[in-house]
Amino acid sequence: MNRNVFLLSICQALLTTGNILLVSVVALIGQSLASDPAMTTFPVATQFIGLMVATIPASLIMSKIGRKNGFYLGNSVGITGALVCIYALNEQMFSLFSLGTFLLGIGIGFGTLYRFAAVEVCAEDQKSRAISFVMAGGVIAAVIGPQLAIQSQHLFGEAEFTGAFVGLLGLYSLALLMLFFTHIPHVEKTAAELTGQRPLLQIISQPAFLVAVIVAMVSYVVMNLLMTATPLAMARCGYEFASAANVIEWHVLGMFVPSFFTGSLISRFGIHRVMYAGAVFMLVCIAINLAGVSEWHFWAALLLLGVGWNFMFISATQLLTETYRPAEKAKSQAANEFLVFSMVTLSALSSGWLEAEFGWQAMNWMMLPLVLWAVSVIFFIGKQRSAQTLTSG
């Protein structure tokens, strides 16, 4: 894999380390600062609202100023968000902390486009492997993120978890340094390309686009709901924070270790089969969660949840890149990111409320129809796409 893809994978790793750090601590911080238990995951939701708000502007801004400058901008907003969170924790201000996570979400929204940048700096036949390689940077995050959360919990005395956001500052600053050495060509659109673009509605109504969006959406929503609620559920079951952080660590390993070979699996077995495999892993995860609440149940279920997300999300990303022309990438990617992460935002907003109101096992029952819906979409719409391909051929 070329040097630029490698550097982008490091940037992705740093971003994901920060994300996992946030997953480990934000809901617990919300629990300690919020006056209403239903608001526990509100700072998580504001993070995803920021992400959702950034998705469309991020793609369009990058089409104007280039990927690299866009990533610089996103990291700078993330650094500002970390500073706001540090101040809010010292002052014990719930609303200001939520504002800080909103800014962090905007930064993350720009960072979600690292995987598309990887496609643009590699050869055509290396697309799936480039996406996988960049996503594999999350393996570093799986180890560092939770451990950073554990070690920084009481680093600054009474302001619990402040150290986590100091660590976040370091991660985003290091990403800025990595970007300095990365070359991402910015290609201006020609007049012919600008006039030859299809309407967005025509692009998103393609069967392949619908499959890509729905599979990415379901995989991320199910993963986010269960992952965000896990530290809360484990705390309710009497487990220490370190136990929950270790479960999250193995979950993130499940999310990113398969990335080393997911691209090869897609090349060998096809996108749809890898999507099916991811759905099976998610269904097994739900079954394990319903079977019990021992530490082993949490560990095994979250590990399989991560693998299922990896197979479904990377396959969906690869499929999406096949649905638009080069000149259409900005608006197509923006539409995809907005549709996916708007649903993820709703899941983050409802996660704490669902866990508090209905309980851990009821949440898992609610995930079952979502995964089955994704399977039916892959089968019926994917079959329609295959039929259209054969007819056009």
pLDDT in tens, 127-174: 667 777 777 767 777 777 777 777 766 666 666 778 888 888 998 999
Q: Confidence band (pLDDT; 50, 70, 90) for 387?
A: very low
Residue 191 has pLDDT above 60, yes or no: no
- 158 Cβ contact partners less than 8 Å away, ≥ 6 residues apart: none
Q: Closest Cα partner for 344 from 222, 233, 204?
A: 222
- pLDDT: which is higher, 392 or 103: 103
In a domain, 189, yes or no: no
In a domain, 191, yes or no: no
In a domain, 248, yes or no: yes
In a domain, 39, yes or no: yes
In a domain, 202, yes or no: yes
Residue 192 has pLDDT above 90, yes or no: no
Question: What is the chain's mean pLDDT, rounded?
Answer: 85
We report the CATH number of the domain holding residue 81 as 1.20.1250.20
Residue 329 has pLDDT above 90, yes or no: no
- 139 Cβ contact partners less than 8 Å away, ≥ 6 residues apart: 13, 253, 256, 257, 259, 260
Nearest-angstrom CA–CA distance, 144 and 134: 17
CA distances from 204 to 74, 199, 214, 368 (A): 26, 9, 11, 26
Total number of domains constituting the chain = 1
Joined tokens for residue 340: 């996916």
Domain of residue 74 covers 3-183+198-392
Q: Confidence band (pLDDT; 50, 70, 90) for 390?
A: very low
Instruction: Give the tens place of pLDDT for each residue, 56-87.
Output: 888 889 888 988 999 999 999 999 999 999 99
In a domain, 44, yes or no: yes
List % helix, strand, coil for the chain (3-state, nearest 5).
Answer: 85, 0, 15
Classify each residue of 301-336 as buried b or exposed e, where b means 16 or more C-beta atoms within 10 Å of its C-beta: bbbbbbbbbbbbbbbbbbbbbebbeebbbbbbbbbb
Q: Which amino acid is at 290?
A: L
Nearest-angstrom CA–CA distance, 218 and 224: 10
Residue 391 has pLDDT above 50, yes or no: no
In a domain, 282, yes or no: yes
Instruction: Give the tens place of pLDDT for each residue, 243-265.
Output: 887 888 888 889 888 888 888 89
Residue 354 has pLDDT above 90, yes or no: no
CA distances from 17 to 47, 82, 220, 253, 310 (A): 15, 14, 17, 11, 16
Would you state the pLDDT for residue 177? Answer: 92
In a domain, 188, yes or no: no
Kindly report the pTM of this predicted structure: 0.74
Q: Confidence band (pLDDT; 50, 70, 90) for 35?
A: confident
CA distances from 140 to 78, 112, 145, 372, 375 (A): 20, 17, 8, 32, 31
CA distances from 240 to 233, 237, 245 (A): 11, 9, 9
